[in-house]
């Protein structure tokens, strides 16, 4: 069985990349603490996420964000300057964001799509279900 579970903090700035075929890729490290006091150590575990998982992490996390990572250990080899090199990392299959309050995504409030009250109503002020709605009925206006 090959399964890895980590809880820690993202230890580097995140940079979402795209492969030549257009797939999203995110490499990052998770700082995982072990022990307490003078015996406390920190391991920096390399992680790799693809596609939607990579995009979610990139949009809603930043350096220092607390995160739960689930995946499997993966090893790759490649050549560099004529030498065979190896890279070990966690191939991420699932994540949970553990910060007590959500980190503001890279999208600012001004760039988020706005919900237009008038566009969702028919001409007589009724919504799609037939109920009459006014802005006074909605708590967020």
> Using CA atoms, how far apart are residues 6 and 45, in angstroms rounded to an integer?
9
- Reported as a single tens digit per residue, the pLDDT across 27-54 is 999 999 998 888 889 999 999 999 999 9
Tokens linked to 125: 């002020």
pTM: 0.68
Q: Which of 40-49, 89-98, 122-131 has the least mean pLDDT?
A: 122-131
Measure the N-to-C terminal CA separation of the chain; round to a whole number of Å: 52
Give the confidence band of 116 by pLDDT, cuts at 50, 70, 90.
very low
Tokens linked to 133: 């709605």
Tokens linked to 77: 């080899």
Tokens linked to 31: 């700082």
Q: How far is CA 75 from CA 2, 92, 97, in A?
A: 12, 13, 26
Domains and CATH numbers, the chain: 4-99 (2.40.50.140)
């Amino acid at each position: 069985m090959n399964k890895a579970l980590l809880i820690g903090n993202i230890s580097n700035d995140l940079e979402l990349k795209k492969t030549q075929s257009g797939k999203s890729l995110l490499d990052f490290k998770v700082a995982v603490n072990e022990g307490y006091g003078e015996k406390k150590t920190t391991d920096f575990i390399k992680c790799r996420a693809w596609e939607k998982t990579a995009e979610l992490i990139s949009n809603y996390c930043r350096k220092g964000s607390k995160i739960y990572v689930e995946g499997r250990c993966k090893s790759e080899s490649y050549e560099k300057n004529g030498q065979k090199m190896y890279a070990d990392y966690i191939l991420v299959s699932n994540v949970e964001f553990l910060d007590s309050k959500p980190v503001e995504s890279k999208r600012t409030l001004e760039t988020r799509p706005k919900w237009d009250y008038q566009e969702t109503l028919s001409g007589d002020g009724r919504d799609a279900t037939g109920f009459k709605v006014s802005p006074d009925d909605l708590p967020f206006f």
